[in-house]
Amino acid sequence: MTEHLVPAFLSLLDPVVLLTITTGTVVGIIVGAMPGLTATMAVALLIPVTFGMPPLHGLSLMGGVYCGGMYGGAISAILLSTPGTPAAAATSFDGYPMARQGKGGTALAIAAWASFWGGIISTFALLLMAPTLAHFSLRFGPPEYFVLAIMGLSSIVTLTKGSMVKGLIAGFLGLVVATVGMDPLSGYMRFTFGQVDLYDGVPFMPALIGLFSISQILDLTAETRIAEGLDGTSLSSIKRSKLPKGLGGTIVQGGIIGTIVGMLPGAGATISAFISYNFAKQGSKDPETFGKGNPKGVAASESANNGCVGGSIIPLLTLGIPGNSVAAALMGGLMIQGLIPGPELFTRYGTLTYGFILSLFLANLVFLVLGLYLAPYFARVTSTPNALLIPGIVILSVIGSYAINNNMFDVWLMLGFGIAGYFLEKGGFSTGALVLGLILGPIAELGFGQSLILSQGSPLIFFDRPLCIALWIITLLLMIPAFTSGRRKKQA
């Protein structure tokens, strides 16, 4: 490895490479911040563009888009409660309340630092331990995926602020909505009512935009500004505001969770962000402040989703198995350059591969600098009059929902989810829990069905494998504090 690192590092000093990394990261931030535009879409669109470029230029451009896109999702999640990417959904739980308190700039700065360190941790893992970690990820089979989904679902307990029963109902409602469409095992169409647009299931992004964005703007119709007290002097105080202390442990924990979950094909950044948020809340001395603007909530979610970047590339480069859809698009970028994932990438093409890995460090640095510098200016959005902001967000939500499948049906679905989400939230049902059920439903169902086929119907398969047992134990440990704190409250 060391013989490749020095030439790889020197290849990055080429100004054109530095320019492509910066350009890719900026494009990624913009794409990530826009609901409906995904890093996968941007990387896929760049593949033909990179065909004519030298391999390192093309790969570093796509790597920059990936890193920037993952961070960019936090910007709209924090300022408008509209996650630019599904992975930033958990960021909005505490980021948006912070913006409402006039701390949008601080929340954005925390997101930038947490994303940076999450990305750095996972890129180090990619650089130093890729082959070992890739083989570990292969030990995850359907039963482990099912238990991992259960671990994610246990976050419902965390996300629920009031009645636990209502939180669970919201989570199960999400699981129910996720059953719409083709059954993954038999191919049978369920609850589609003959609507062709539902054959692939309820599209996730329009549902997410509706539940988070439209329901929020309907609530904002009663107010004049997102952050009522924010004025010109507040803006300058944002520039001077210091980062809260004590976030280091949460960020490191999130980065590690993101790296591990990111390596698992199909699991992805969204689940890792929720699991990390759950860990942070359950390990906190003041869990009741989560969901009300606790900086650790932002740090946990953002470090985990950016931690997935390096994690998802580990099985891609070593085994040719992409960890998620963006990594799959990146694989297209590798193939178009004639690079086949596997051991040769680290030997014959070592300089190029390590150059690409090192370029991810630089991409993280670029979005950190941009994020910190621009945070106070982005935060100005919260002082825009709601009468202007509301129609603007609706327009972006409409085009964002439409752009996924170029389909007006998705727009109506998004509006429907928005209105339903508004009334559910008012009724005390957590839309976060609903989204979690929607995300994890397909993974849980597929893992459950495949496992039972493997075990010929015996549910013992979920309890007799070492990794499953470890995951069950972690899940139970995560749930204990929530229930004991509930009991303590009752006793008090």
Partner 1 sequence: MNPVTNRLFSAAGLGLAATLFLGAKDFPDRAASAARYIFFLAGVLALLSVIMFFRSEAQSEPQNRWIRSPRHFLVTVAAMAGYGAAIPYLGFFLASALFMPVLALLLDYRRPLFIAIGTGVILLFVYLVFVYFLGVPVPMGIWEG
Stretch binding partner 1 (CB under 8 A), from 100-108, 126-134, 168-176, 323-331: 168-176
Contacts of residue 423, defined as CB under 8 A and 6 or more positions apart, other chains included, come to none
DSSP-assigned states of every residue in 253-320:
HHHHHHHHHHHSTTTHHHHHHHHHHHHHHHT-S-GGGTTSS-HHHHHHHHHHHHHHHHHHHHHHHHHS
Contact call for residue 173 and partner 1 (CB under 8 A): yes
DSSP-assigned states of every residue in 10-49:
HHHTSHHHHHHHHHHHHHHHHHHHSTT--HHHHHHHHHHH
| Cβ pair 43, 328 in contact under 8 A | no
CB atoms near residue 165 (< 10 Å)? 11
Q: How far is the CB of 199 from partner 1 (least distance, A)?
A: 15
Per-residue x/- track, 115-144, partner 1 (CB under 8 A): ------------------------------
| Cβ pair 71, 353 in contact under 8 A | no
From the list 7, 343, 427, 459, which residue makes contact with partner 1 (rule: CB under 8 A)? 427
Contact call for residue 448 and partner 1 (CB under 8 A): yes
Contact call for residue 403 and partner 1 (CB under 8 A): yes
From the list 5, 26, 372, 399, which residue makes contact with partner 1 (rule: CB under 8 A)? 399
What is the C-alpha to C-alpha distance for residues 80 and 23, in angstroms, rounded to an integer?
A: 25
From the list 449, 455, 465, 472, which residue makes contact with partner 1 (rule: CB under 8 A)? 449
Contact call for residue 185 and partner 1 (CB under 8 A): yes
From the list 1, 387, 473, 476, which residue makes contact with partner 1 (rule: CB under 8 A)? 387
Q: How far is the CB of 39 from partner 1 (least distance, A)?
A: 13
From the list 249, 342, 385, 459, which residue makes contact with partner 1 (rule: CB under 8 A)? 385
Contact call for residue 390 and partner 1 (CB under 8 A): yes
Q: How far is the CB of 28 from partner 1 (least distance, A)?
A: 13
DSSP class of residue 162 equals S
From the list 61, 111, 269, 398, which residue makes contact with partner 1 (rule: CB under 8 A)? 398
For 160, the 3-state DSSP assignment is coil
From the list 186, 233, 456, 491, which residue makes contact with partner 1 (rule: CB under 8 A)? 186
Q: How far is the CB of 383 from partner 1 (least distance, A)?
A: 13
* Residue nearer to partner 1 on the CB measure, 36 or 295: 36
What is the C-alpha to C-alpha distance for residues 192 and 415, in angstroms, rounded to an integer?
A: 18
Q: In the structure encoding, which two tokens stand for residue 460, read together?
A: 């013992």
How many residues touch partner 1 under the rule CB under 8 A: the total is 59
Per-residue x/- track, 22-41, partner 1 (CB under 8 A): --------xx--x--x---x
Contact call for residue 1 and partner 1 (CB under 8 A): no
| Cβ pair 147, 471 in contact under 8 A | yes
In degrees rounded to 5, what are phi and psi of residue 391?
A: -60, -35
From the list 130, 370, 452, 479, which residue makes contact with partner 1 (rule: CB under 8 A)? 452
Cα dihedral across residues 195, 201, 206, 208: positive or negative: positive
What is the C-alpha to C-alpha distance for residues 438 and 452, in angstroms, rounded to an integer?
A: 22
Per-residue x/- track, 405-424, partner 1 (CB under 8 A): -x-x--xx--x---x---x-
Contact call for residue 351 and partner 1 (CB under 8 A): no
* Residue nearer to partner 1 on the CB measure, 109 or 198: 198
Stretch binding partner 1 (CB under 8 A), from 99-107, 176-184, 322-330, 357-365: 176-184
Contacts of residue 153, defined as CB under 8 A and 6 or more positions apart, other chains included, come to 171, 436, 437, 440, 444
CB atoms near residue 246 (< 10 Å)? 10
User: Which amino acid appears at position 196 of this protein?
Assistant: V
- Can you give the binding site for partner 1, defined by CB under 8 A? 30-31, 34, 37, 41-42, 45, 162-163, 165-166, 168-169, 172-173, 175-176, 179, 183, 185-186, 188, 190-191, 214, 217-219, 221-222, 385-388, 390-392, 394-396, 398-399, 402-403, 406, 408, 411-412, 415, 419, 423, 426-429, 445, 448-449, 452
